[in-house]
Structure 1
Amino acid sequence: MTTTDETLPLGLYEHLKSASLMSRTIPEGAQWQEEILEKDDYNIPELLTQFFATQLAPALESLKTPADQVELINRMMELLPQDAEEQNDSLLTDDDSNVIQMRELALTDAKTTRPDIPLSDVALMTNTSKDLNLNTEIQKELESADRVDLLCSFLKMSGVNSLSEQLKAIKNRGIPFRIITTTYMGATDRKAIDRLVEEYGAEVKISYQGDSTRLHAKAWLFHRNTGMSTGYVGSSNLSSAALTDGLEWNVRISNPITPGLIRQFEGLFESYWKSGDFTLYTASDQEKQELDTALAKADITGRKSKGLEYDIDSSLLDVHPFPHQVRMLEEMQNARSKGRHRNLAVAATGTGKTVFSALDYKRLCEQYGKKLKLLFIAHRKEILDQARRTFGDVMLKGNFGELLTGGKKPEYNEAVFATVQTLSGAALESYAPDYFDVIIMDECHHIKAASWDKVFNYFEPREFIGLTATPEREDGVNIADKYFDGYVATSIRLWDALEDHLLVPFQYFGIADGTDLRRINVRSGKYDENALENLYTKDEAERRLRIIVEELREKVDNPLRMKALGFCVSVKHAEYMAQKFNEVGIPADFLVGTDSAERRAEVMKNLADETHELTTIFTVDLFNEGVDIPSVDTLLMLRPTKSLTLFLQQLGRGLRRAPLKSVLTVLDFVGHQNKNFMIHSKYRAFARQGTLTEQDVKNPELPAGCHFHLDELTQKQVIKKIRESLRMNQNALIDTAKSYLEDMRRNSTDLDIRPTVIDFINRYGLGLPQIYGRNSKMTLPGITKPVATTWTSLQAASELYPDLVVPFQDNVAVETNKRVKALTHVHDTFRINAYLELLNTDILEQDMTDEQRRHAWMLLFSIWPKAKWDGSSEKFSLNEGLATLRKNRGMLQELESVWNFNAGTDTTSTLPLFEGEGIPLRTHALYSREELFAGLGGQEENFKVPGGVVNGVVPFDPTNTTALLVTLEKSEKHFSPATMYKDYAISTDEFAWDSQSATTPESPTGQLFQHHEERGRRIVLFARQHRENRLGPEPYMCLGTVKYISHEGSKPMHIRWSLDRPMPASMFQIAKIAS
């Protein structure tokens, strides 16, 4: 940037700080906002490259001849650092002072047709008369491609015809051609797909879920083995009009110029191709019929249904689980592998609970090698009818099972679908307690009721599965705690269901309604309901009503055609709102718990009827659970709630899919809150990482199609509460802990029993990060040196346990206490038992097995990564380190409490990484950098320590392994296409990975990757989402050994690995780049 007197305009910049920039004039009163990038920020090389390019281009232009320009480039190339394995082979060569561009490498003199746009350039194509023609360019791109991928909403015969010659040519050359498309809107011509498959050899995959997939993308990728790949992303479908003269915009991208976009394209396409959302189409007679039916069903014009003479029995088509259901099935199996055979599955209404249970039953039948006797229990016959159909679809049997209801009795009793009312009567004892192998109880939050409880306690099946959307009942009973030992085997998160398109996306608006709640009493976290009722029906009712109606008119397309539920504070409030809505011309009604079943059914029927004028039902708690009207497209939240459970239940009333329903609008009316009301609690529903942060409120990471907005006043209130909760100051935390410990001691008959950290955080609704994620220090009585906050130090600070203060007189104990958080991720019972044995016995190194010795160093490096006491220059021995750890009994008890809690809630299944070799690592377990280093024997080579291990490639010769350490999200602060798509999961058993930037295929490291199997080297993949979480460095998941499949490129090599054990579905959801 050259110096100039021109004043820089106000606005956004992304310039690096330089002398020339700082010499520029800026407006009076303005100042630069700086951001210091982290030293290991992956974006720094890209930013520096961009900066240098802006300086280099004008410098080259100022030189007189091409020879001078080449000389300058080569002089700069000589200054670049070279990898020890590599020679500097990148210098430019010139011929008679000319710059030579190498255009093609061929076996003959014949020239391949080239696109008119240079391969190393980008362009915008608009089909105008002065622009290049997209159809012609694609024809030319096809002639030189080594592989072609097409993602396209609609495929038309006219588009296929316009490319027919080139499509024949790529078939004859054996060029792979993959196409992903959809039946959305019924716009595709089946004949076009048939020709692409039968005549041109294309592989085609189709999404038949046109109502949820809604694939709008149109994009081509022309892969070239030379690295000169190109692509087109834009608006043109495969039709003649779109390719030639339509008002279409398409952007041409190029690997040399936009490598990040090409990688993103490749990764997303590969993820789609591997996913179960798209089905391979081979043009068989049956598939043609299925496709015709699907296109006719989706056709908005109705033309494709004419002349359709057949219908397909969908009950005989395979049911494939959604990604979240794959995870749930895995977690259920993991629970059983740990000896749990009464399991609870939690999933919101509309997310496929019944499909999940049917798939789980099918898996159990396959596992036992026979058809297991099944009992499915629900409280309504309609639920049983639907469940029978679902199980029939999954088991590929059209008439599956028998009913046991008031009017029906089963004959064969192999698969019985029973109402709880009938089963809890005389029918119960007609079955032996162990007659059924598998019992599934739907809506089992009713289990406390006498009839449900009777059935639950009578039967003794091999496997019992409870299904519910709401484990926390309104009477305060949590059925997981009462009936399932506090264990939830699996659950579906709201985000998973939205990303899998099982629910409609939502638009949430938090709106300040002008009411003043600051003087209303808050008791046990709730407002006084009588005072709220007066406020909402008398004091400020009219003004609030005007705001509600105005917001409806602004944010809902047509309030007279909406189907809405309004959640009120009381019966009187519900009546008032219905009356006022009717007065302003919005037809409304109200329902309360005392209404008759007939009235409820009639009012709900009217709301569900698209032709009926009723727009809104106001209620108190009637629709919180168990009652669904799928057509509801608007929610009015008219009462304050801090309950996350209640908030999600109410939100769930509107998320069900329905015809013509594309989005749920949620209007949450928020007053000026009492300082004691936890307004922020319910917004944990929008927190991806579990703990609510300001970022979750200001710019939440939401599934596609969703929107979240708080107006300025509401956002300020919420953020204030978030800040208060996250920074419960040190004194408040100490006082809270002391008060809790005093209460527990007063109420205990055994003073030797001490509450654990888990008891404490459960009592106050805290999380481990709120104890261990603090950088602040605290002082203890009689101890001069500040100590880190842990449960042990909090107990010591209470002055109730003098024995816990004594160890802190030793500086080593202070240092040890600081590192407790480094072990709070340990979750698998194998490692927990190994650690506890080392800590609770006096075993010495000479008596240990290799596995025990490595476990010991895993533990010690976690506390002392450099194997040195604070201030010491000498490394300690293994026996010295263990002896020091064993002295601190308070810390050991604290860790054991955390570990047992983790194990009790763990849903993963770990297996040995290597059998019988003394390597203690297990696949799918989480390890810190220090643990994986020691587990693979890093300390056994000249007593190395893990201090220098970073992301990348780490060899461990003592165990003949090489570890690949991957952080999936490279930049914590900014979205960066250049780094975002370097490493990602293609499928659960395939992973795309970039080598280090200097690695070439010919280098020793590149050769090792390609030939590791024949050389006997094991490659082990470790992955994590972020570099850090609230407890410090995020641990890696051990994904196990991988095998080389293929690679592309050089410096870096883009390598595809095959995983020997598929990654868990939960990690795949994180590691994939397509949701």
Structure 2
Amino acid sequence: MKLTSTQTKLVSALSNGFVDQRFDGAEELVPRFIYNNKGDSMLMHIERELDCCSSFTFVIAFVTESALAALKVKLADLAAKGIQGRILTSNYLAFNKPKAFQELLKLSKVEVKISNNKAFHAKGYVFDHEMGNYQSVIIGSSNMTSGALLKNYEWNIKFTSHDNGALTEKLISEVEEEWTKAEPLTRHWIEQYRKLYDSVPRQRMDEELEDVSPKYAINKHVIEPNKMQNEALSSLADIRKAGAHRSLIISATGTGKTYLGALDVSQYQPQRFLYIVHREQILNKTMESFKNVLRSDFYNQFQDKYGDQTETKFDEQFGVISGDSKNFKAKYLFATIQTLAKDERLSLLEPTQFDYILIDEVHRAGASSYQKVIKYFQPDFLLGMTATPDRMDGFNLYEMFDYNIAYEIRLQKALDEKMLCPFRYIGITDYQYDGQITDDTSKLKWLVSEERVDYVIKQTKYYGYSGDVLHGLIFCSLSAEAEELADALTRRGYTSKKITGNTPQSERREIVKELENGDINYIVTVDVFNEGVDIPCVNQIVMLRSTQSSIVFIQQLGRGLRKFAGKDYVTVIDFIGNYKNNYLIPIALTGDRSRNKNSARDDLESRQISGLSTVSFSEIAKEKIYQSINNTSLDSLKVLRDDYQNLKNRLGRVPLLVDFQKFGTVDCTVFANRYKNYYQFLVKMKEDVHLTANQEAILSFISIELMNGKRIVELLLLRELIESKGFVKKSDFRKLMRDQSIFYNENVEHSVERVLTLSFFVKASQEKYGDKPLIMIYEGGYQLNEAIQKYLVSQKLFQQLVEDALFAGIMRANRYNVNQQFTLYERYTRKDVCRLLGWEKDVSSTVYGYRIRQNTCPIFVTYAKSGKIDQSINYQDRFINADTFQWFTRHNVKIGSKEVQAILAPQTTIQLFIKKNDDEGSDFYYFGEVKVDKNSLKEESFRVNDTTEPIVKMALHLKRSAQYDKYLLFEK
């Protein structure tokens, strides 16, 4: 029997998976074992199959809202293309929540049925491919729950089969039989099921979150701190023991700062305590939290004395200074800054009256009202708390607290520690009409048009929320927009109220209470709720404005991250228009502050952020962000100046490159790429610095050529030379390399010598770097250039900046495997590769697609060729699967040519480097060593400018299969 082309491919793919991995097999057909390891989650495989299927069927016993929310963007994109699907699920063990079934009904072009098989416990995902008449199937242990798709240790097998294969026939027959017997999912069925669900006791589901927040046990009067609070309390005690009188806590919203403050007050036992906050709205809630913590102290001390009056006496310990409440005599006072800063209020309190003062949202402390109060009081200890310490107003918050940071936990760490509620971020395109879309200049009429409001409601309804009642926050651009949008939503059945800067505090409190009680569905606001508001029930956040800063983005995201009973996740729906700042979105979500475009592009591809939080972009929205990243300057002088000033404020001195590396802010290479060296940036910052031209040339060489850390050896040799006063024995340095397990051999040693003597570089580069070698080479060792030694002794700034660049490079080298020549999936330029391969000269300008030299052949592939690319190099280089890459030589080359024979020679090592497209600059991902499949060699014809020339096609086998998430970068 003659096989079709698809059947032939399937034979190879199945042979690869089940017989011998040396058989070639197309990636989409090769069997895979999936168990949620690094870069290879079940969710990725499902999305990959959805990307290329013609229809799909999910046969799964358990479905949760959270898992479904992670797939809704992909399913919406498929529906827009007309691709249909089916989901067969069950009421087995009454596990599925009724609301999960309601969410299934929202899916467009997806038919849902409920199995009548009482023992239904199937877990399978079937994807049809009409073009090849085959099915892809994933079967194993993964239900459609967040844990099963993202983090749990699951066992699943993905395989493919032709539609007339015995296995497929049996599988599809079983699916169709179950589907025929099943009943359609309807609203009536859900209402009947709800009765069953409510009557059956169930074990705790895997979607429910572990609550690590403090608990108040009323019978014991005890609050147990969580892990973060224990660490912070210990640090605060140590800081005070060292004699400090001020300290700062930096903690993401929702991580328990208020309870931490109360626990430290309990630890400190002040005679009198003052708590200062910006907004009256949270004052009473804060006081109640302090009462929960401090009650046990009071009961232990006074219950025998007061008996039944103990609680009354305890309450008398607390007072509020705000609005009409002016209790100045209580032991524990809680005040708003607006009231406290008034002269007539301050005068009623003595400067030394409080031995402990705590300021919440202390990033506001630069305001005159705060400064007035802070300068007036003289507490023994002052504690500040904030989630966003870095300010753009020039105020140095760190200096105010004597640079004592007791504890710091940012959003991503808090999510990993399960301290916050996971989120489902959904980035979709804003409303479009006749090719127009919301942008930075859109007028009110457009923003609140009937069509846009209808579109917003449609999307918010589709993407939904966790829990039974909608508690939503909508952030928009204008106060007038907030008012009209709230009215428009209310008219459409979503009761909404606006809160703007002009809304009185009393009215704000009432509106928030209405949202908490479920009396209204949405609060529509304009940046008013960025901070200082605690509404844990919020389960949907809608962003109808451009992202102006990462700080504001995280503040608004944080409004929904507090844990709350019945809330498994928070839905964040971001309507992405033609905004110039779209590039900030992936940067904010990942916490990336490197100012590196390659990192920003990687951020955009991040699917799973931290813990169980996920990010989904519609295809159009993702393209808009990608364009924004390409079109913006992440390393503009203004951006770098702000980062520099923030770090300078934090340190209380001029920051060095190692400080940026240590605190995870600007990547040190950004300064080198933009200014050649950090000295030039300090000049831009108007710091009092001066280097000679020769000194700067040396610093530029280290910064540009070595500081990227892609090979640590040169950095370590220069460091050793400086520390040993200018001379290092070769034998000692070789031993150092061995002891630290660093990749080092004769080739590397010779390469390092050529680099540090500048022999490796072209003439223009040698002149740029001073045209003098950095080291002198002797038979037994290395000596530092005499001029450099003198500079190091005579010019303190030069010494500091050189050592800083070296140590920053050594720190950056931590991202690379120093015991290997190259690190998988890190990026390298052609010049980097020439250096790391140990070539005699930098020939990067003539390497182009590949170059054979010294028994090595690096291959550089631009995967998506530009439309403007020369026809003569527009080859169809592509992945066949995660193990095999199809590659073409340059044109006018035959199999028998010297060039091809050199590639095929057994002594030639071939290394594969790939980049997505030319927008990504000159850096290529390293995919590892490859071997040529000689059976795949084929000489083909290539037409260039009406001339036919020979070209050689071959399959390259990767020594190590491409990591699935990296493979998908190119194959989506």
Q: TM-score, normalised by structure 1?
A: 0.43
Q: TM-score, normalised by structure 2?
A: 0.47
